Structure 1
Amino acid sequence: MRLPLILAAILTPAVAAGETFQRPIPAPQTAQAELSYLAASVIMLLALVAVQWLVRRR
């Protein structure tokens, strides 16, 4: 029973040691992403106008 405990105590620091944190490099925004954002913005505005129109009619 002692041998596994001693072995675990010896090997645990080696396993627990990690590499240093490296900041992620942000990817540049692509034309596809800009187009998707534009489409989502237009749809959101249309939805807000539709809600305003429905609420005003009430």
Structure 2
Amino acid sequence: MRRLILPIATLFASPAIAESFDRPIPQAQSATAEFWYAMACIALLAAMLAVHGLVSRR
């Protein structure tokens, strides 16, 4: 069984079997996505200010 491990590992790790990597093409960001990103940033800041207010009272 130990003699089979190296040939099997070599067979499965062969670069001839592997596919080439195709880089994804970045898409342009839409105005709607920019709007929702801005809303999420504002909501995060508001939540951080609320937590700061709660923690500073104690």
Which TM-score band (shorter chain)? 0.5 to 0.7
The alignment's TM-score, normalised by the length of structure 2, stands at 0.62
| 1:3-44 deviation digits (Å, cap 9, x = unpaired) | xxxxxxxxxxxxx85764322111101101100110000000
Structure 2: where are the runs of 5+ without partners?
Answer: 1-15
Task: Give the aligned CA root-mean-square deviation in angstroms.
Answer: 1.7
Assess, with a 3 A threshold, how the Cα gap between structure 1 residues 50 and 18 changes in structure 2: closer, same or farther: same
Structure 1: where are the runs of 5+ without partners?
Answer: 1-15
Amino acid at match of 1:44: L
The alignment's TM-score, normalised by the length of structure 1, stands at 0.62
Q: Percent identity?
A: 49
In structure 2, the partner of 1:31 is 31
Count of residues in correspondence between the two structures: 43
Q: How does 1:1-58 map to 2 (within 5 A)?
A: 20-58=20-58
Task: Identify, as 1 or 2, the structure richer in helix.
Answer: 1
**29-38 or 16-25, larger mean C-alpha shift:** 16-25
Larger Rg: 1
